[in-house]
Structure 1
Amino acid sequence: KELSSFSRKQPEIDNTLGHIIVLTQYGWPYWRDRIFRPVILPKIKEHGGLSYPDMLRFVYNIEILREFRELYRKFPDLNFSLLRQNSTSSDQLTNSNTTKASMQALEDKINHPSSRSNNEKLVEFCKERLIHLRNKNVKAKVSVLGIS
């Protein structure tokens, strides 16, 4: 039984693609034909889908969400994991169920956009990334010093 964590071995690529998708909203539609369609979408197809649990928290641009809906309609074998899941439920969901839940949540977001300001979401995204980078730097320094 396939697990929703995807057997793909490239979570770094998923995170990078997800972060870029969030940031392309800032200059949309400028980035649509410069990065999103020629680079991001082919990478997602090449890797068999996208696992980015923060997608529906931070992507507010309805056009981008529609692009994902259309991508899934054209390529229904792609696997998507776009929702945060607790560890117990994610272990029990197959790729198919995770993708269905992700696509349903995406459709809901298209039909009922968030009332939070887009700037608030972008600021929250940047703050979370900075905290993540700080924590990563602290762990790297501790590792270099040989402290456990």
Structure 2
Amino acid sequence: MIPLAPVFERSKAILQRLSELLDEERFAYGKLDTDIIVSLSKQKQDLLDEMNQLNEKRINILIKFGVVDKRSPSEDAFKQWLAQQDSTMDVIRLLMQECEQLLKHCKVKNNTNARVLNTLQKRNKYLFELLQGHSSKNKVYTSKGSTRPISSKQTLGRA
């Protein structure tokens, strides 16, 4: 039997932890706690690095056992092979399905966090421009055709 179960079990654990970190990240965005956000980003990157290593290990195992082509290993080839196997591979099928579901949930959470972060960045940019006396509505064209904001003489920083 091909030793894929430990790889998929570890992948599942990583995806579960990643999901938790994404929840914590969204909460940290709400609190605007940069120290926690930076720490969570580091933890997420470590998990993603480990996930990439596991994927390489899985591909090497599949190549070693002749399941996928060495020159162009593909996920589809593995899935086709797995579908043709008997019930002894049910554990692998189940783990793979669970990993795919967790991955979908993580992608949704990550996209949600990206939208929250984008909103926070826009708000911060607007507040920064307001402090500088700039307004996105008050822009003029330069001689080269680009735009630049009109600076107010009475900024909050100069008041």
More relative contact order, 1 or 2 (CA 8 Å, 6+ apart):
1
Output the TM-score relative to the length of structure 2.
0.29
Name the larger-Rg structure: 2
